[in-house]
Copies of this chain bind each other. A is one copy, B any other.
Amino acid sequence: MAAGSSSEESILNRIKRKVWLPRGSGLKLGIGDDCAIFRPRSAVEDLLFTTDLLLENVHFRRETHSAEDIGYKALARALSDIAAMGGQPRFCLLSLAVPQWADQAWVDRFYRGFLQLARKTATPLAGGDLARTERLACDVIVCGAVPKNGALLRSGARPGDGIYVSGVLGGSALGLAGAKGLARKRHLRPEPRLALGKFLRDQHHAHAAMDLSDGLSLDLHRLCLASGVSAEIEPPPIFPGATLDQALHGGEDYELLFTASPRTHPPSDFGGLSLTRIGTITARRPGSVRLAGRPLAPLGFDHFQNT
């Protein structure tokens, strides 16, 4: 796994070959989607589980990110995975490794940002772990719930489906590149699209869904791979001031990407958030994506290729 020799995709595939989902264990879905799915005995709901690491000097720098923003974002990323499956959050856990530079006031501010979003989204903090370390590291686990068999999966896309995105893309990349104002806010305080995810699930609008965490080009490639399909798209709606490249390959927008049957017509607006059709699912080579008729490489963020 030396840098460049393998992608996150290939590492996940190696792991997937070694794991097993025993029948009767209640596990309905394992590695490979936004969340794992577990069905408790005799329960009326399926539970979703996601974990998200947020690491100093990888996902943030303390010079440029406030403690509140880091706490907020750590939870927002995991909630976005719950939103992508149409789930409602039930609770969260937080493992936090704290370096010497983080004094008590810093840690208090971190929790303030974290708990602010936790309250807003009704996601109580139920536990976690604490340790000392050299670089700040946190791992957030969120449990969400959907009606039995109701989760939106990456694997449900079918040829002919329309491809949609919420909002406008590239804002987080623009903020990361130094822009101020709304772009910076988009980068620091992404909004998990929980209400939209629930709407898409409840109204049966979506065949497949995922959140845009690593960039449209890479995430759509992953959705197509999971569904065994391909995609033809046009340029997506772009965040004001961002470039097409940022909208196509920039990470951390945390908008939702979904596909819907050609017979259904998702609204173009959901409570002030635009829903835009950007293309169509096709039946070419699984995983391949074309933009305006030309191949689009999956250039989004991959921890194991971008290091």
Contacts and interface: CB of A to CB of B under 8 A. Distances in A.
Interface stretch (A133-141, A168-176, A222-230, A235-243): A133-141
Nearest to A57: B134
Interface string A90-119: 110111011010111011100100010001
Interface stretch (A121-129, A267-275, A290-298): A121-129
Nearest to A100: B3
A132 B58 contact: yes
A35 interface: yes
Contacts of A122: 22, 25
Given A22-B122, A93-B36, A124-B21, A135 B132 contact: no
Contact of A127 (B11, B36, B57, B137): B36
A30 B98 contact: no
A26 to B, nearest CB: 6
Nearest to A3: B100
Interface residues of A, number: 78
Given A2-B103, A36-B126, A133 B58 contact: yes
A6 to B, nearest CB: 7
A98 B25 CA distance: 29
A42 interface: yes
Contact of A40 (B47, B111, B128): B47
7 contacts: A27-B91, A30-B127, A51-B129, A59-B131, A95-B139, A132-B303, A133-B135
